Amino acid sequence: MKNTLFKYLSFGLLGLITLILMSATVIEKFYGSAFVDEHIYTSEWMIFLWGVAAHFTLFYIVRRRLYVQYATFALHLSFLMIIVGAFVTHNYGVQGRVHLREGKPAVGEFTAAGGSSEAFPFSLQLKKFELRYYKGTFAPMDYVSHIIVEDAAGVREGCVSMNNIFKYRGYRFYQSGYDADSKGASLAVSHDPYGIGITYAGYIALLLAMIAFFFQRSTMFRGLLAHPALRRGAAFFVAFYLCGSLWAAPQSVPRDVARSMCNLRVYYNDRVCPLGTLAKDFTAKLYGKTSYDGLSAEQVLVGWFFFYDEWKHEPMIKIKGAGVRGSLGIDGDYAALTDFTNRDGYKLDALLRSDNPTLRNAAEVANEKFSLVSMLCTGSLLRIYPYAGEEGGTLLWYSFTDRLPSSVPYEQWLFITNSMSLVAEQIAMRNWDEAVRLLDKIGQYQLREAGDALPADWRFDTEILYNDTNYNKPLAMLALMVGILSFMLFILRGRIAGLPSRILRLLLWMLLTYITLHTVMRAIIGGYVPLSNGFETMMFMSWCSVALTLAVERKYQIALPFGFLLCGLTMLVAMMGEATPKITQLMPVLQSPLLSIHVVVIMLAYTLLAFMMLSGLSAVILHFLNRRAEVEYLYLLGRLMLYPALFLLAAGIFIGAVWANVSWGRYWGWDPKEVWALVTMIVYSYGLHVKSFPLFGRPLLFHIFCIVAFITVIITYFGVNFILGGMHSYA
């Protein structure tokens, strides 16, 4: 009886906490983070709930004699240790901020989070602040504060930068901000000598317990792994996706001429890149695709620039929102540049001042596209002329319309302001060879003037190759088509072997090779592990889905259709935010390898959970077709995948917490993404406790649970990104 009471109290309180956390992220959307931090996350009643839930959980696992299974017992104790660490941090840890200026006297206190002043047992002074940039750009690479600490023990110098903490006498200093004149810095201060230690001990215990769990005998996981039913599987068939365009294109230049121009360097998006990258972003921004009526993105950009009078009548600017389309007077989804104005002026002026936020936002998007075309056609977007000035001076990039410094020599000034006009003259006369020769001269000027500040040739050529080999959409559609047909074939026949199976395996290897090569190219171009934004993480999830499928398909052939479907869906989702995602210089705080590991582990977990969701959908269909054996098989497979999925998710969350502590000075900030990741982990953890909840031992109910639980993954990734917001809301 006591076991039952403790079970319902522990799981019931955990469920209540989960519902509160879900609600808090919605409340935060309307009342702000400060409100939910004070009244929910760190409130006394919430801390009391966590404490009571932890106590009843401990009572329950002891009453269940879980300590005889050492790894399982240690796993639960590690979570309790993490909660204790968080409690100690909340009650005894102190966080705040200190502002320092070069040449100013040392300070002996800092401002705590509550606004009060707290004294240091030493004095702190800023010796020098450095703002380091990526080579040849104005994109910050790192913020570095050189500080001097003095107390009775003497004087010590230290350095604080992004992902580099300075520690002294139990105090930890993190780079937080800097003054506009780069002569001062703000440092985050953390004094938590006990809470962090306890929490980190919990993280280490959790990692060791999860590893030991897979070697522990007499567990449900080991039983599932040895189940004879999991030796069966299925294989599949193949289809192809083709597309094309039959519309006549407006006037432009031959592809080789457009390529010559787009092989020039341009300062764009805080880095130096091929002009072709700007061309792809420009075309995608206007039209929603990276080509138009059979013309490449390079031809589109060059066409707009040199043949403006013709292109301004071309209906290729995609407009969202019926209100904006009505104001522009267009019937379809696309407007011409001439549709934006009439005799009365700019048609969107009224909408841009509208009190209706939906109308105003849609008008702002359309106005941004109009402005982008204007910037290109006037030349201000084409910052292709570098100028270093005096010896050792800062390299700056100009367009031919910019006002140049007075120090520019006359011959150089003449070249910058007139060279593109000469190119336009040759293009107007269809003298393609001479136009290419003049463009080559501009390229030679770039090499001579910018020199070592330019990206290495091999990196520059890699970006051109990356732009030329972007086949994400057709490959995504192909993967989806193959997955759908394969799944239908599995439903009808149960399995298929022979040549079709080998063809499907070959297709998977081709997909894996393509995604791998593109990921490597992005890493070369950007100079970092490409896991920093929504596009890159979803492409990595595509890679995970294919790699995981190839790893298990011979033993679990049902993974084949799931692999194709998940790969296709994630590739399509990757393109939702932007048709051609920008490769930017990475923010200093995102340079930590811990962040890359965190993203990799989390995306592996999401991939497994997505497989379980697809498995659940398949099982529900098979149940109504009276295919009980297949339902049972998918049930065993789903339960088997739940263990590594949940363990990877837990590991990813806590690796992210360590990164946050190194970078920001705290390991948990109750950001909506963090909260929903925790919610996802808690929800899926219920599915592991089959002995406590025998309902999960019934195949159909377990499959329905996997389908419904996946909603938490969707909200964690997409709901936070597009609706709830927060620090992690990248799309």
Phi then psi dihedrals of residue 725, to 5 deg: 80, -165
Q: Given this model, what pLDDT does residue 235 score? A: 30
Angle at 118 between CA 112 and CA 123, to 5 degrees: 115
Cα(209)–Cα(557) distance, rounded to whole angstroms? Answer: 31
pLDDT given at position 234: 34
Residues 47 and 189: their CA atoms lie apart, in Å, by 24
DSSP state letters, 173-208: EEEEEE-TTSSEEEEEEEE-TTHHHHHHHHHHHHHH
Quote the DSSP letter at residue 164: B
Host H or E run for residue 241: none
Determine the Cα–Cα distance for residues 50 and 683; give it in Å rounded to an integer: 16
> How far is it, in rounded angstroms, from Cα 284 to Cα 298?
11
pLDDT band at 196 (very low <50, low <70, confident <90, very high): confident
Is the distance from CB of 436 to CB of 443 less than 8 angstroms? Answer: no
In terms of Cα–Cα distance, which of 712, 657, 488 is closest to 18? 712
Three-class DSSP labels, 563-624: HHHHHHHHHHHHCCCCCCCCCCCCCHHHHCHHHHHHHHHHHHHHHHHHHHHHHHHHHHHHHH
Top-ranked range on mean pLDDT: pick from 126-130, 453-457, 523-527, 629-633: 126-130
Amino acid 452: pLDDT: 80
* Tokens 């138009």 belong to residue: 292
Beta carbons within 8 Å of 123's beta carbon, 6+ residues apart: 106, 107, 108, 149, 150, 151
Task: Tell me which of 202 and 558 has the higher pLDDT.
Answer: 202
The pLDDT value recorded for residue 146 is: 92
CA 159, 163, 164: angle at the middle one, nearest 5? 25
Location of structure tokens 């056609």: 377
**480 and 564 in contact (C-beta within 8 Å)?**
yes
Q: Which residue has the tokens 């079970």?
A: 7
Lowest mean per-residue pLDDT among 126-130, 310-314, 614-618 = 614-618
Q: In residues, how long is the chain?
A: 731
Residue 589 — pLDDT band, cuts 50, 70, 90?
A: low
Predicted confidence (pLDDT) at residue 387 exceeds the cutoff of 80:
yes
State the helix-helix crossing angle for 593-624 and 672-686, rounded to 10 degrees: 40
Distance CA 81, CA 206 (A): 9
Strands 317-318 and 334-335: antiparallel
Lowest mean pLDDT segment, chosen from 98-102, 229-233, 644-648? 229-233
Of 87-91, 168-172, 222-226, 599-603, the poorest mean pLDDT is in 222-226
User: Does 168 score more than 70 pLDDT?
Assistant: yes
- Determine the pLDDT at residue 322: 81
- Count the neighbouring beta carbons within 10 Å of the beta carbon of residue 688: 18
Q: Would you say residue 552 has pLDDT above 90?
A: no
Give the pLDDT band of residue 445 (cuts 50, 70, 90). very high
- In one letter, which amino acid is 498? G
Reported confidence tier of residue 238, pLDDT bands at 50, 70, 90: very low
Contacts of 57 (CB under 8 A, 6+ apart): 10, 14, 76, 80
Long-range CB pairs of 119-126 (<8 Å, 24+ gap) are 120/171, 121/151, 121/169, 122/149, 122/150, 122/151, 122/168, 122/169, 123/149, 123/150, 123/151, 124/98, 124/100, 124/148, 124/149, 125/100, 125/150, 126/100, 126/101, 126/102, 126/184, 126/185
Residue (of 609, 622, 633, 640) closest to 490 by Cα position: 622
What is the spatial distance between Cα 100 and Cα 178, in angstroms, rounded to a whole number?
9
Assess whether pLDDT exceeds 50 at residue 61.
yes
* Distance in angstroms (rounded) separating the CA atoms of residues 227 and 133: 57
Greater confidence (705 vs 225) lies with 705
Write down the pLDDT at residue 509: 92
Residues in CB range of 662: below 8 A, 6 or more apart: 163, 165, 592, 594
Q: 282-286, 300-304, 562-566: which range is least confident on average?
A: 562-566
What are the backbone dihedrals phi and psi of residue 293, each rounded to the nearest 5 degrees, phi first? 50, 45
313 or 593: which carries more pLDDT confidence?
313
Mean pLDDT of the chain: 82
How many DSSP H helices and E strands does the chain contain?
24, 18
If pLDDT is split at 50, 70 and 90, which confidence band does 294 have?
confident
With b for 16 or more beta-carbon neighbours within 10 A and e for fewer, the 302-318 pattern comes to bbbbbbeeebeebbbbb
Q: What is the pLDDT of residues 696-713, one digit of tens each?
A: 889 999 999 999 999 998
Q: How far apart are CA 578 and CA 520, in angstroms?
A: 20
Q: Where residue 444 falls among pLDDT bands split at 50, 70, 90?
A: very high
Q: How far, in Å, CA of 528 to CA of 522, rounded?
A: 8
Helix then strand then coil, % of the chain, to nearest 5: 60, 15, 25
Sequence letter at residue 248? A
Q: CA 219 to CA 383: how far, in whole Å?
A: 63
Helix intervals (H) in 255-407: 255-262, 275-287, 297-306, 308-311, 322-328, 349-352, 357-378
Whether the pLDDT of residue 489 is over 80: the answer is: no
